[in-house]
Amino acid sequence: MTASVTVATGFLRSPSVSKSQNTSFLFTRQRISPKNSSVRPISASASELPENVRSFWKWLGDQGVVSAKSAAEPAVVPEGLGLVARRDIGRNEVVLEIPKRLWISPETAAASKIGALCGGLKPWVSVALFLIREKYDEDSAWRVYLDVLPESTDSTIFWSEEELAELKGTQLLSNTLGAKEYLENEFSKLEQEILKPNKDMFPSGITVDDFMWAFGILRSRAFSRLRGQDLVLIPLADLINHNPEIKTEDYAYEIKGAGLFSRDLLFSLKSPVYVKAGGQVYIQYDVNKSNAELALDYGFVESNPNRNSYTLTIEILESDPFFGDKLDIAETNGMAETGYFDIVEGQSLPAGMLQYIRLVALGGSDAFLLESIFSNTIWGHLELPVSRSNEELICRVVRDACKSALSGFATTIEEDEKLLEEGKLDPRMELAIKVRIGEKKVLQQIDQIFKDRELELDVLEYYQERRLKDLGLVGEQGEIIFWE
């Protein structure tokens, strides 16, 4: 069992951005959860709004996108800017429609003055580069839109070192640092391959902070999963804020044709719920994101326990003497050399997790299950305990890993909850505390699951017993039947 212990002891790792080679996962939607507060629509108090917002609204009018009949308009709201209903809006009613000529996408970058330089870039990098260049161009056609974009968000990628220190022990911290390292590497390549060789095309002094800004804008505001569009900024539509009380993402927006005889496309935004005149229009950003993901993407978290999760990372090490056999079995069953399992507070373990970890820990006298004769049935066998030694090993290793992760936090759940009760916290500090509490609760839950399992080791039924029963060699009381 030594080899299996070696394999399993390092299984719990904090996944970083390198968890996926597909950077499309980096881009989703926008900012912050709603709070109860008054709203100031443009039509009600235009003089109180920043000039840049008024200019933006006028620009949209000049483009024929909005008019006196528009259902919603920009307004100052607790989240910063949002969309407010100018009249009652029904459920699934269209709130606004934005033509493709006003979208910012990889196509926009390709058609711009720097388009010839964007061909070999990742789509999101080309859009980021486009945004940076346009931001520094006072005569940019996108000037009024760029002027309403924030300089930063509360996403953890914009936190100071002191603020990040409050995330000590969390996977959110490691993911944030991983994202920042990823961005620095991407900018370094961009600087060497594009910016320096083409200084005449770009303003001087573009820095990694500019690149970080563009990344933050895309991460927090870009729409994805659209028909034929993986990454697109939609001016005005991207002011829509998130409401946790809206439980579905379905039908909130879509791409459709502009008309029967038109080749143009429209981005159509709908309200998933009824909104009374003067109320803010909301959507659900993503029902499946954890609080850590919401914090990294948008800079907010929810109180919903189902948003609390922790990712267990389990891997088959190349040093395992059965590495090839285990990898073949894993791949045959839709897994890989490394498995990522998101454990959610209050929910059972993810499908396939116990099978995968039993496979990783398989060794010693249990290794016969890796023989080719079992290749078509082993995954089914792994649904149930293989042997006491295998089950004991996975329980011990998981519990040790949970305890190790919990020891990385500087505070207890009780101490964090007391801080929340006392109130008067900076928003980022409050976010950090809520993420710490959530991750610790899930780690304690995982530990308890495997602690309970340890207590059942003597009464669990293992492979050899099941096999004997199938052969009719075990009696009703569990005794082995012998013949003379």
Binding-site residues: 79-81, 221, 225, 238, 241-242, 253, 285, 298
Give me 72's structure tokens.
């919603």
Spatial neighbors of 54 by CB under 8 A, at least 6 apart, are 42, 46
Concatenate the DSSP letters of all residues of 160-188 into one string: -HHHHGGGTT-HHHHHHHHHHHHHHHHHH
DSSP element (H, E) containing 7: helix 2-9
Give me 283's structure tokens.
């959507």
Task: Write down the H helix ranges in 249-377.
Answer: 291-297, 323-332, 353-361
CA 258 to chain centroid: 32
The CA distance from 296 to 155, in Å, is 5
Question: Out of 145, 282, 285, 356, which one is annotated catalytic?
Answer: 285
Whole-number Cα distances in Å, 244 to 84, 172, 248, 294, 302: 17, 20, 10, 11, 7
**Taking a C-beta distance cutoff of 8 angstroms, is the pair 289, 297 a contact?**
yes
What CA dihedral angle connects 267, 270, 272 and 274, to 10 degrees? 170
Q: Select from 5, 106, 13, 1 the least CA-distant residue to 314.
A: 13
Residue written as token pair 């044709």: 257
Strands 309-315 and 40-41: unpaired
CA 220 to chain centroid: 11
Active site residue 282: no
Q: Which residue positions form the known binding site for substrate?
A: 221, 225, 238, 253, 285, 298
- 94 Rama sector, left if φ>0, alpha if ψ -120 to 50, beta otherwise: beta
The CA distance from 370 to 367, in Å, is 6
Task: Write down the H helix ranges in 375-472.
Answer: 378-381, 388-406, 413-422, 427-455, 463-470
Give me 441's structure tokens.
């609760």
Bridge partner residues of 269 (DSSP) = 96, 253
Q: Which residues are catalytic?
A: 285
